Structure 1
Amino acid sequence: MSDTITTLASRLAEDTMKVMDETGEDRFYVEVGELLGASSQTLEEAFLTEVRVRLAERKARKFVVKKLSDHRSKLKAIEKQ
Structure 2
Amino acid sequence: MAGTIETLAAKLAEDTMKVMDETGEDRLYVEVGNVLAAASQSLEEAYLTEIRVRLAERTARRFLIGKARELMAQRKESKPAT
Same fold per superposition (TM over 0.5): yes
SS in 1 for 2:67: helix
1:42 is matched with 42
| Equivalent position amino acid for 1:45 in 2 | E
Query: Equivalent residues in 2 for 1:47-58 (5 A)?
Result: 47-58=47-58
How many residues matched? 81
1:24 is matched with 24
2:71 is matched with 71
* Distance in 2 between residues matched to 1:61 and 1:74, nearest whole Å: 20
Q: TM-score scaled by structure 1?
A: 0.96
* Distance in 1 between residues matched to 2:32 and 2:40, nearest whole Å: 12
* Distance in 1 between residues matched to 2:3 and 2:28, nearest whole Å: 25
| Equivalent position amino acid for 2:42 in 1 | T
Moved over 2 A (4+): none
* Distance in 2 between residues matched to 1:23 and 1:13, nearest whole Å: 15
Q: CA deviation at 1:80?
A: 3.7
* Distance in 2 between residues matched to 1:14 and 1:4, nearest whole Å: 15
Q: TM-score scaled by structure 2?
A: 0.95
